[in-house]
Structure 1
Amino acid sequence: MSFPEPFASGSYLPLLGLAATTSVATAVGSWRYRNRTGGGAYVVLTTAVSVWVLADLLGYLSSTLPRAMLAHRLTYLAISVVPVAWVVLALRYVGRSDLVTRRRVGLLCVVPALTLLVSLTNGHHGMLWEVHGLSELSGMTTLSASSGPWFWVHTLYSYALLVVGAGVFVRWSLRGEDVRRPQSAAVLGAVALPWATNVLYVTGVVALPVDATPASFTAACVLLWVGLFRYGFLDVVPVARNRVVEEMREGVVVLNERDRVVDVNPSGRRLIEPDSIVGRPIGEVFAEESVERFGDVVDGGGRIGVERDGRRRHFDVHISPLSTGGGDRVVIFHDVTDEERSRKRLAERTRELERQNERLDRFASVLGHDIRNPLAVARGWTDVIADGDVDDEALSRVERAHDRIETIVDDTLALARSGDDPDPVPVELRSLAREAWANVESDAPFEADVDVVVLVDRALTLRALENLLRNAVEHGGEGVSVRVGGFEAGDDSAGFYVEDDGPGIPEGIREDAFEYGTSGETGGTGLGLAIVRDVAEAHGWGVRFESSDAGGARVVVEGVPLAGSRRTFGSA
Structure 2
Amino acid sequence: MPMAALTPQTYLAAIIAAYLISAGVAVHITQYALRYGERSISVPFGVGTGALAVWAIGNALRVVASSPDLWYVATAIAYVGIVTAPIAFLVFALRYAGYDISHRGVAVLSLPAVALYLLVVTDPVHGLYYSDLGLTPMGPIAVYNASRGALFWVTVAESYLPLAVGSGLILYNTAERSELYHRQSLLLVVGVLIPWAVNALHLVGVIPLPVDPTPVSFTAGLALTAVGVFRSHLVDIVPVARDRVVEAITDPVVVVDDGDRIGL
TM range (shorter): 0.7 to 0.9
Q: 1:106 to 1:20 in 2, by over 3 A?
A: closer
Cα distance in 2, alignment partners of residues 252 and 143 from structure 1 = 60
Q: Does 1:243 align with 2:222?
A: no
Secondary structure, in 3 states, of the residue corresponding to 2:134?
strand
1:131 deviation in Å?
Answer: 4.1
- The range that moved more, 80-89 or 245-254, is 245-254
1:136 deviation in Å?
Answer: 6.0
Stretches of structure 1 lacking an aligned partner (at least 5 in a row):
1-6, 265-328, 331-572
Secondary structure, in 3 states, of the residue corresponding to 1:133?
strand
Amino acid paired to 2:148: S
Which residue does the alignment assign to 1:87? Answer: 90
1:169 deviation in Å?
Answer: 0.4
Q: 1:187 to 1:12 in 2, by over 3 A?
A: same
- 8 Å contact 2:48–2:89 — kept in the other structure? yes
Residue deviations 1:128-153, cap 9 Å, x none?
11142234656755222011111111
Amino acid paired to 1:208: P
TM superposition outliers: structure 1 runs of 4+ over 4 Å? 135-141, 246-249
Amino acid paired to 1:31: L
Question: Which one has a bigger Cα radius of gyration?
Answer: 1
Secondary structure, in 3 states, of the residue corresponding to 1:127?
coil
Which residue does the alignment assign to 2:231? Answer: 230
Q: Does 1:73 align with 2:71?
A: no
Cα distance in 2, alignment partners of residues 31 and 137 from structure 1 = 38
Q: 1:231 to 1:112 in 2, by over 3 A?
A: same
Q: 1:248 to 1:221 in 2, by over 3 A?
A: farther
- 8 Å contact 1:68–1:143 — kept in the other structure? yes
1:117 deviation in Å?
Answer: 1.0
Secondary structure, in 3 states, of the residue corresponding to 1:37?
helix
1:253 deviation in Å?
Answer: 3.5
**Alignment match of 2:261 (pick from 234, 245, 263):** 263
Which residue does the alignment assign to 2:221? Answer: 220
Cα distance in 2, alignment partners of residues 141 and 246 from structure 1 = 63
Amino acid paired to 1:215: V
Which residue does the alignment assign to 2:208? Answer: 208
Amino acid paired to 1:46: T
Which residue does the alignment assign to 1:252? Answer: 254
- 8 Å contact 1:236–1:262 — kept in the other structure? no
Which residue does the alignment assign to 1:55? Answer: 58
Cα distance in 2, alignment partners of residues 141 and 235 from structure 1 = 46
Which has the larger share of strand?
1
- 8 Å contact 2:190–2:224 — kept in the other structure? yes
Amino acid paired to 1:74: I
Residue deviations 1:228-273, cap 9 Å, x none?
3321111114332332239987242445xxxx53525xxxxxxxxx
Which residue does the alignment assign to 1:134? Answer: 135
Residue deviations 1:394-424, cap 9 Å, x none?
xxxxxxxxxxxxxxxxxxxxxxxxxxxxxxx
1:53 deviation in Å?
Answer: 0.7
**Alignment match of 1:15 (pick from 10, 15, 18):** 18
Which residue does the alignment assign to 2:149? Answer: 148
1:197 deviation in Å?
Answer: 0.7
Cα distance in 2, alignment partners of residues 170 and 35 from structure 1 = 20
1:114 deviation in Å?
Answer: 1.0
Secondary structure, in 3 states, of the residue corresponding to 2:124?
helix
- 8 Å contact 2:62–2:75 — kept in the other structure? yes
Q: 1:174 to 1:60 in 2, by over 3 A?
A: same
* Matched residues, number: 253
Higher relative contact order (CA 8 A, sep 6+): 2
Which residue does the alignment assign to 1:174? Answer: 175
Aligned-residue CA RMSD (Å): 2.5
Cα distance in 2, alignment partners of residues 61 and 136 from structure 1 = 13
- Trace 1:273-352 onto structure 2 (pairs within 5 A): 329-330=263-264
Q: 1:247 to 1:197 in 2, by over 3 A?
A: farther
Cα distance in 2, alignment partners of residues 38 and 140 from structure 1 = 42
Cα distance in 2, alignment partners of residues 138 and 29 from structure 1 = 37
- 8 Å contact 2:192–2:225 — kept in the other structure? no
- 8 Å contact 1:136–1:142 — kept in the other structure? yes
Cα distance in 2, alignment partners of residues 232 and 200 from structure 1 = 32
Amino acid paired to 1:244: V
**What is the TM-score with the length of structure 2 in the denominator?**
0.86
Which residue does the alignment assign to 1:525? Answer: none
Amino acid paired to 1:232: H
Which residue does the alignment assign to 1:46? Answer: 49
Q: 1:102 to 1:16 in 2, by over 3 A?
A: closer
Identity of aligned residues (%): 30
- 8 Å contact 1:45–1:85 — kept in the other structure? yes
Cα distance in 2, alignment partners of residues 140 and 114 from structure 1 = 34
Amino acid paired to 2:208: L
Which has the larger share of helix?
2
- The range that moved more, 208-217 or 39-48, is 208-217
Amino acid paired to 1:147: R
Stretches of structure 2 lacking an aligned partner (at least 5 in a row):
none
Q: 1:253 to 1:60 in 2, by over 3 A?
A: farther
1:111 deviation in Å?
Answer: 1.3
Cα distance in 1, alignment partners of residues 97 and 256 from structure 2 = 16
Amino acid paired to 1:224: T
Cα distance in 2, alignment partners of residues 94 and 254 from structure 1 = 21
- 8 Å contact 2:37–2:235 — kept in the other structure? no
Residue deviations 1:161-220, cap 9 Å, x none?
11000000010111212121111012101111001111111123x143242110000011
